[in-house]
Chains A and B, each alone.
Chain A
Amino acid sequence: MTERLFEGADWDFRTLQRITDACEEVALKDLGLDVYPNQIEVITAEQMLDAYSSVGMPLFYKHWSFGKHFAFHEASYRKGLMGLAYEIVINSSPCISYLMEENTATMQTLVIAHAAFGHNHFFKNNYLFKQWTDAEGILDYLDFAKNYVATCEERYGRIEVERTLDAAHALMSHGIDRYPGKKKLDLRAEEKRAGRRRQHEEEVFNDLWRTVPKGAAKSRSALSIERRRKLLGLPQENLLYFLEKSAPRLAPWQRELLRIVRHIAQYFYPQSQTKVMNEGTATYVHYRIMTKLHEQGRITDGNFLEFLGSHTNVVFQPEFDDPRFSGFNPYALGFAVMQDIERIVTRPEDEDREWFPDIAGKNDVMGVLRDVWANYRDESFIGQFLSPKLMRQFRMFHLHDDPEERAGIRVDAIHDERGFRRVRRELARQHDVGFIDANIEVVDVDLSGDRRLILHHHVIKGSQLNETDAKRVLQHLADLWTYDVSLIEVDANDKVLREYVVSPRPIPAAVA
């Protein structure tokens, strides 16, 4: 019989090492996972709160909003409204997992299996992460960002920097390239380039140029609208990118700040598209590893029961009329679909053969799952693999709420033969970030005229922007652009629903 990894709830660093080795053996040999090197760090609850408030990253530039989040989390933690996450894991190479010191030995095993192998494998192999993130470079880049922001604060003042960062944060969710085509982010090169840019600016700076008389303004042949838009790369949905490249009066350091915020937004973009899959993968992996360790006799029945308790809490899905309900639990949904795939691959029924001819009865569970983990995101994952059996099990139904409809909210489809495909399509759509986020793009700017920036919001299903927030964000946008900005909400037939016009606030001190 194999030796136990630990007894009771206590652990020390030798135990952690044994646990990690045991998990690694199962992960690599039995599940065939492919992971970044692991780095496991033990931290305190307070440090966990710290990490929370800076979006889970170990180093981040200073900004008041992180302090706000810290205060918010701390207050709810103290009141017992919120438990702390058992772990935080960072998509970097080496892959860093934070473990809380309060966890019992069983919890540490669960967390290591979950984060250091589940998430880690997903980060390394999913196509979105491969496409958009740079695991080797991220920590260095964050370090650079932190120092850059600090330097800017020294040179240009905290208030100025804060103003720019506030504006950039407001636009962060619109600072993302949604479609590939651009080359993959290389954050190390990015950092070097920023340094060179700065150095170059310093070297070529010569105050005399300011005094050189300007020639008479060139007669501007009115650029054709088409040509102008093409030159500016319009339409452009990456608002931060557009501002960084085209805002006429930003100082170079402000452009660099926009760039930093944009890169970080882009780095997190895959995470928002793969929440269900990412958590599902990690949960599936920890479940397999823990079960295996139990089978091998490396953890006791008691430890395994403790694990099952935590596991069940994590994958609990309240029903819609339960007061605890707040949407689909990504852990529950992701884990359920992956277990279901395992079932379809090994013990398919007729229905499954009909719905999933490619994988039903294929018997290679891990092969299929690894392929799924590598090549799908939430939307396509649900759209492809949510089976009728699961829809019945969750008793899913689709509601359509049209404010014009007097009779109330219509039940459009339920978990029956007629409804399966519609329910699945609708649930997949709800996990499509491209669909959830407002579709806003810069459509035009009159550079030879009043330089007004014109944006369109393409309204889908009559859902317009929240007015208060929209005005505030536009104010930030106008402050960066330094001329008027107008946002027009148009429906699918190009009918104008509402128009916002915002003028920039006067800047107290000149920003050169």
Chain B
Amino acid sequence: MHIIDRRLNPGGKSLENRQRFLRRAKSLVQGAVKKTSQERDIKDVLEGGEVTIPLDGMHEPRFRREGGTRDMVLPGNKKFIEGDYLQRSGQGSAKDSGPGEGDSEDAFRFVLSRDEFVDLFLDDLELPDLAKRKIAQTESEGIQRAGYTTSGSPANISVSRTVQLALARRIALRRPRKGELEELEAEIAACTDEDLRAELIEKLEKLKAKSKRIPFIDPLDIRYRRYEKVPRPVAQAVMFCLMDVSGSMSEHMKDLAKRFYMLLYVFLKRRYKHVEIVFIRHTDRAEEVDEQTFFYGPASGGTLVSSALQAMHEIVRERFNPADWNIYAAQASDGDNSYSDGELTGMLLTDKILPVCQFFAYLEVGESGGSAFDLSDSSLWTLYDRLRNSGAPLSMRKVSERSEIFPVFHDLFQRRDTAQEKAAP
């Protein structure tokens, strides 16, 4: 009889099976994730959690019989006698309760961890033009171990390697060991025969001389750890959230913008160790604010988009050197801008902002219902469209419903070839 405690055995035996299942169900789960995300708040989405996936795609078929005449024995007869008839649907609920007939699981709920969820959600997204710019400007140097060398600074001496070599050399050259000498000395002390004693002393002297000739550690043995410089991508990013908070921006529009920013934040967080967010809100003048004020603080006034761009430019200059930071900006606006501001906005973007940005996303938010979008393009939209057509790293979309945020985001950051990017509307 054995009683064994297996609780300390590693759990998660099924982990690999689970991963296999996820890999296989990837497209299904991905679809489910997207659908789920539309229905939920972003915060909940980021918690991961449950998605429902149709079992159909993951169905394991078996030969199953169905239909035909059926016989069944059931317990709990209260009033029937032989020859009675039960209605097929209705009081005799026996119809659906045939034992062992068809187990139908049409969909099942699947709990994803936060990481799994976000991974799947962002899986086919990529920062546009990431590779190109990374090579150009986003590398710094790091150091890593690269074997041993015979010269270097004392701080880098590798003791173990040095002793190892010294030992090998001592053995090869037959340097007498300490024990050997001591043994000989003891023998001399105990020796009574003079001749033998002299012989032994001579031997001892020889060995001592040999010890001196062959040092314990020779400069030859010394090894230094070698380090090599390797280029490393900069793992930091900053995201600028620019929002128009003038009177024309409704709560609904701000909500749309917020969702978009949060997604962008999560997305960047995935790619970089360190992500900063800068919130800039503007009316006819711009200021940097905290998140709470950004989304909920009351403000009103005229609209000067250039003020926000100017503020961003200054912050970049002060705190975020483009050589060290990946800079992203997302601007949300209802598209209204002072007529006179157009030119300045365009100039700021072309000369100051776009050259240092990895990517600039412009999101034009509209009222629920979206009828406004049937009208002609707003002044900002027209301006940005012109810039984009001249090849700026700029994407723009219009959004009027909450459920559109995810598809639009997805659309903006979908992995694609540069050729496609240009062809895209």
A399 — which chain B residues lie within 8 A by C-beta? Answer: 70-74, 86, 94
Contact between B77 and A174, CB atoms less than 8 A apart:
no
Judged by a CB distance under 8 angstroms, whether A169 is at the interface is yes
- Give the residues from 13 to 62 in chain A that come closer than 8 angstroms, CB to CB, to chain B: 13, 16-17, 20-21, 24, 37-44, 46-47, 49-50, 53-54, 62
Check B367 for interface membership: any CB of A closer than 8 A.
no
The one of B2, B19, B62 that contacts A67, using a Cβ cutoff of 8 Å: B19
Instruction: With a 10 A CB-CB cut-off, give which of A16, A37, A43, A416 has the most chain B CB atoms.
Output: A43
A377 on the B face (CB < 8 A): no
**B68–A459 touching, CB < 8 Å:** yes
Q: Is the CB of B88 within 8 A of A41?
A: no
Q: Does B4 contact A (CB under 8 A)?
A: yes
Say whether, besides A399-B74, A461-B68, A409 and B88 are in contact (CB < 8 Å): yes
Residue A164 at the B interface, CB < 8 A?
A: no
In residues 79-114 of chain A, which contact B (Cβ within 8 Å)?
79, 94, 98, 101
Contacts of B11 in A (CB 8 A): 44, 46-47, 50
Question: Does A430 lie within 8 Å of B99, measured CB to CB?
Answer: yes
Chain A, residues 449-465, CB within 8 Å of chain B (1/0): the string is: 00000000101111111
Task: Decide: A401 and B80 in contact? CB cutoff 8 A.
Answer: no
Q: Which residue of B lies closest to A402 (CB)?
A: B69
B75 touches A41 (CB 8 A): no
Q: Which of B21-29, B154-162, B221-229, B273-281 contacts A (4 or more CB under 8 A)?
A: B21-29
Interface window among B106-114, B175-183, B304-312, B322-330: B106-114
| Any A CB within 8 A of the CB of B418 | no
Query: Does B298 sit within 8 A of A, measured CB to CB?
Result: no
A contact face: mostly helix, strand, loop, or mixed: mixed
Given A67-B19, A436-B100, A461–B77 Cβ distance below 8 Å? Answer: no
Q: Give the interface residue-count category, chain A.
A: 35 or more
- A window 461-488: CB within 8 A of B: 461-466, 468-470, 472-473, 476
Bound: A9/B11 CA distance, A: 25
A37 — which chain B residues lie within 8 A by C-beta?
A: 1
Kindly state whether residue B65 has any CB partner on chain A within 8 Å. Answer: yes
> B17 within 8 Å of A by Cβ?
yes
How many residues of chain B have a CB within 8 Å of chain A? 67
User: Are A398 and B60 closer than 8 Å at their CB atoms?
Assistant: no
Q: Per a CB cutoff under 8 Å, which of B22, B58, B74, B87 touches A397?
A: B74
Asked if A408 meets B87 with Cβ closer than 8 Å, knowing A16-B3, A43-B6, A71-B21, the reply is: yes
Q: Which of A307-315, A322-330, A348-356 forms part of the interface with chain B?
A: A322-330
Q: 8 closest A-B pairs (Cβ-Cβ)? A: A319-B76, A463-B68, A67-B21, A327-B99, A462-B68, A67-B17, A472-B61, A320-B74
Chain B interfacial positions (CB closer than 8 Å to A): 1-7, 9, 11-14, 16-25, 50, 58-78, 80-88, 92-95, 97-100, 102, 105, 108-111
A-B pairs with beta carbons under 8 Å apart, 18 shown: A44-B7, A46-B12, A47-B7, A64-B23, A70-B17, A172-B62, A396-B77, A397-B80, A399-B70, A399-B71, A409-B92, A411-B81, A430-B73, A437-B63, A466-B65, A469-B63, A470-B64, A472-B61
8 further contact pairs, Cβ within 8 A, besides A49-B14, A399-B94, A465-B64? A13-B3, A37-B1, A62-B20, A166-B60, A317-B75, A328-B99, A395-B77, A438-B63
